[in-house]
Amino acid sequence: MDGERHPARGGPVTPDLVLGVDIGTTATKAVAFSADGAEHGSGEAPHHLDEPEPGAAVQDPEAVYEAVGDAVRDALAGLDPARVAALSFSSAMHGLLALDDRGDPIGPLITWADSRASDVARELRARDGALDLHRRTGTPVHPMSPLVKLAWLRRARPSLHAAAHTWGGIKELVLARAAGARVADTSCASGSGLLDVAAGTWDPEALGIAGITPAVLGEPVAPTTVVGRLRETGWGLPTGVPMVAGGADGPLANLGVGAVRPGVAACSIGTSGALRVTVERPAVDPRGRVFCYDLTDGRWVVGGAVTNGGLVLDWARETFGRDVDDLLAAAAEVPAGADGLLALPHLLPERAPHWDVGGAGALVGLHRRHTPGHVVRALLEGVCLQLRLVLDSMREAGFEVDEVRATGGFARSTLWRRLLTDALDLPVGFPTVDQGSAFGAALLGMQGVGLLPPGPDALVDVAERIPLGETRHPGPDARVHAARLPLFERAHDVLGPVIDRL
C-alpha cells in the first residue's frame, strides 16, 4: 500500500495518520485516523474520579497524564510510528488545575462535576450583570465553570489560589509537559467562563471575579495551531512529531459525528449528556438557558449539557446490586411512562437548561407496585426528558433542530436509543464513528499539518460524509413523553424549593 515501508526497497514512509487523543472524565482514548475517517488503531486507559469530601469530584492529574501515554502506546500497536503526522487533543471541559513554575501540578484536577463552588455560584448569579457575563463568555455562571471555581478557591483555599504559577485544565498540563507549550486553545478556553468568545481574548471582568491576571493563563490559540513538537519519550513515538492544540470534547463531538450544518444537532450520553448545534456566529439566548463554545475558526456550538447521564445507571447498579444489563432488561419490560413513576434524575446538581447550583433528585408517584425496573425506566426517561428541555431551549433561542446524531455509551442499549428518539420526537441517527471527539480532534490536527485544506468548509465537507449505521424515527411512545414533559418541568419548579430546604 502506498506510504508503507517496503523492506525490498526501503522506501520512506509518508505520514498519513493523525492520533486523536480524547481525555475524558473516566478514560482517555487515542485513535489513529486517516483523512477518510478510517480507524487504523485505538487504545484506551481508565482513570479514577475521587470524591474526598462532600461535593468534591477531583482526579490525580499525574494518573491522567500516564493514561494519555498508555492510550497512545496502545493505539500504535501494530502501526509504524512513522505514519503518524501529528497528535491532536480533545479534553473534557471545565476542568481546573494549578501548575507551578516548572509546569507540574500543585493540586488535584477539579473536574466539571465538582459542586463545592455552589454557594459562590449563587452569589454571582444574584449580581447585576451575571447574564451579561454569560452572554460574553458563553459559559453559564455555575459551579462547573472554572471562573466560579477560581472565585471559590480565592475564598476557601487562598494559599492554593496564590501559589499557582499557571491555571489551566488537564490539556494544558499535557501540552506543557509533552511539548513545552504554554497555551490555551480557544475551544477549551471558551468553557472556562474567562474568555470573551466573540473576541477570543480573556475577559477583564471575569478575570477580576476570579482574582487572576492574564499572566497566569495560557496564550489563547486557534484549535488547529501546531503548538510544539513531541518531546515526551515514553509514548512510543519519535520525538519531533507535531502537537496540535485541538479543542473541547463537546464541540469536537459535533464535528466528529457530522453534526455541522444548521438544523443537525449532536447528542452524546456518557457519564453526563449534552445536545449541541453548530452555528456560524456566537450567540446566547436572552434567558441564558444555553451555552456557546468555540469549535474552530468561524464555527461555534450552542446547546446545553446535563450532568446526569449514564451515572444514573451506575447509581442503580450500586443501589440495587444488579448488573447494568439486567437492570436495562427489567426496564425494557416496563411501559412508557413507567406506570406513573416520574423521576427527576438529578443525582448531581443539574445543568441545562435551568443551571441549578444545588438541588437533588426525586421520585414522584412512587407506589408499592413499582420495582427496580420501574425506577430505572423512570430515571432513563428523566435523562431523555431533560435533554428534551435543552432542545426546546435551543429552539426558543432561535436555533432550529430537525435531526439529531447521537453517540456515547448509551447507544449500545436498544432501550436507550428508543427512549431518546421518542423523547426528542425527532429522527436520531447513530454514526458509524463512535469516537466522535477523538475524530473531531484528528480532523483539526489534519488541518494543522496540512493533510486537509484550511478553513471550516473543508472540515464540514469531510464531516458530512460520515455514514450513519442506523437512523431511528419516533414511535407511538413519543406521545406519552410529550404529555409528561410539562409535568416533568413543573415537578422541577415545584419541588426545587422543597429540596433546597432539606
CB contact at 8 A, 364 and 260: no
Closest CA to 456 of 265, 264, 260, 266: 260
Q: Per-residue pLDDT tens for 235-245?
A: 999 999 999 99
3-state secondary structure 284-314: CCCCCCCEEEEEECCEEEEEEEECCCCHHHH
Tell me the angle at which helices 130-137 and 118-126 cross, rounded to the nearest 10 degrees. 110
Cβ-contact 301, 279 below 8 angstroms:
yes
Q: What percent of the chain has pLDDT over 90?
A: 81
Residue 9, pLDDT score = 46
- Please say whether the dihedral angle defined by the alpha carbons of residues 140, 276, 378 and 114, taken in this order, is positive or negative: negative
Q: Please, is 501 exposed, middle or buried when counting C-beta atoms within 10 Å of its C-beta (0-12, 13-18, 19+)?
A: exposed
pLDDT value at 6 more than 80: no
Judged by phi (left if over 0) then psi (alpha if -120 to 50, else beta), residue 128 lies in beta
pTM for this one?
Answer: 0.91
3-state SS, one letter per residue, for 250-276: HHHHHHHHCCCCCCEEEEEECCCEEEE
**Is residue 271's pLDDT more than 90?**
no
**DSSP string computed for 380-415:** HHHHHHHHHHHHHHHHHTT----EEEEESGGGG-HH
Residue type, 416: W
> Residue 21, SS3?
strand
Over 80: is that where the pLDDT of 2 sits?
no
Average pLDDT taken over every residue of the chain: 93
- Give residue 409's pLDDT: 82
